[in-house]
Chain A
Amino acid sequence: MSEIATTTTAPIREVKSSFSERPTTVQSTPDFQFLAANGDLTLVEVKSVNTTMVTKRKPLRVPRPLMYEEASRLGFILLQKWEGVVLESDQETFTAKLTDSHGKLRAHDATFARSELPKNEQELIEPGAPFVWTLGYRKIGSTRERASVVYFRRLPGWTEKEITIAEQRASDLSDSIGWK
């Protein structure tokens, strides 16, 4: 957390942290406060020593922020990644063209069950939709299991400016061909 803000290297953290259930007592005016999703109120005092105002607030018992837990304990050993584009789909399946992400293997078509995806992502299946199919081992503690992950890309939509530029380029290209 104290890394110099001129590098864009993510810190390799050895120490993780999480909220402690242990309450602490705050007796002065907080600089700011936040409400956690579970309803815990935490007060953070940065410059309370500069406060000259007498506080009438009663002491509050709040959780003390300690170390945060690791974001995810699930590691993934990547074996192969395919980039796919949906060619066609029906109620049960979708067929896609797959290209090796590393350009080592030949492209091919494959058919997937829609149920490979969570319900809320199945609506993304439509011709032309890009996705990534990752194969590997998912590490859970000291064990590992084979894993196949299909992720449909959620790239930002085209902006009006980008569409205008693309149309202009297409027009220029068309004009340069000199159809007769």
Chain B
Amino acid sequence: MNPRAPDAEEISVVLLGSLNPGIFHPEWFRRQEILSSQESDEAKIKLVSPEVTEVLFLDMKLDVFPDRLVLETTDSSRAEKLQDVILNILTRLPHTPITACGLNDVIQFDLEDEEYWHRVGHTLAPKELIWNELLEKPGMALLSVKGILSGKFSGEINVNVAPAKRYIHGLLVGSNFHYPVPRNESGTPQSGRVVDYVQEMWKPALEKARGVAYQIFEKIKK
């Protein structure tokens, strides 16, 4: 295992479906015993409305739109907290139709080495075959690779590799574990499966996300 720890990490969960942004007020979280009174009082409300909600609590940011909920944190020590909040939301709203769920982990590394930084880009996106003849100083701006998520939860894994803009020679590896919720015979999404997905795939997804980054370092030596 590569000992290199990420220099920044952003973990998020995205739910797609039919949502009611107006209910996601810190007071609702308190009444549902998802947040304590103190945590609810300390929450920062940017906006709570039927159309859009944006609330900050527990070092997380919650955005809710009628078709989309995003809960994210830039503090990886809060990962399980975030998972618990999502599970609690889902179990408190069992009749909310959820059509897809994404577990996302964006990891950034400061490579601090221009030569190695270019080598990673040139190895992942070779320039010799096509680009050198067409462009001056071609560089990899974004590499997207899609894979299949098989097993109990069928879906897809989308990996993006790009320069991390917050560092001069940074590398960003973003992984999206996308799970389209199966529908029953009447076409209704089986939203209850999302709870199982978040419970069972959380740890494997985060480990896989890191595994992608470590594989890059393993295969492309400094």
Shortest distance in angstroms between A108's beta carbon and chain B's nearest beta carbon? Answer: 20
Residue of B nearest to A123 (CB): B36
Pick the contact of A10: B54, B102, B203 (CB < 8 A). Answer: B102
Residue tally, chain B, CB below 8 Å to A: 60
B100 CB within 8 Å of chain A: yes
Q: Pick the interface stretch among B76-84, B111-119, B120-128.
A: B76-84
Residue of A nearest to B85 (CB): A154
- Distance A140 CA – B33 CA, assembled complex (angstroms): 30
What residues on B are CB-neighbors of A8 within 8 Å? 14-16, 100-102, 104, 176, 178-179
Query: Are B9 and A72 in contact (CB-based, < 8 A)?
Result: no
Query: Are A136 and B34 in contact (CB-based, < 8 A)?
Result: no
- Distance A135 CA – B44 CA, assembled complex (angstroms): 27
Residue of A nearest to B178 (CB): A8
Residue of A nearest to B7 (CB): A77
What residues on A are CB-neighbors of B81 within 8 Å? 151, 154
What residues on A are CB-neighbors of B9 within 8 Å? 75-76, 78
A14 CB within 8 Å of chain B: yes
Question: Which A residues between 8 and 40 are near B, CB-CB below 8 angstroms?
Answer: 8-10, 12, 14, 19, 32, 34, 36-37
Query: Are A78 and B80 in contact (CB-based, < 8 A)?
Result: no
Shortest distance in angstroms between A10's beta carbon and chain B's nearest beta carbon? Answer: 4
Candidate in A71, A78, A155 with the most chain B CB atoms within 10 angstroms: A71
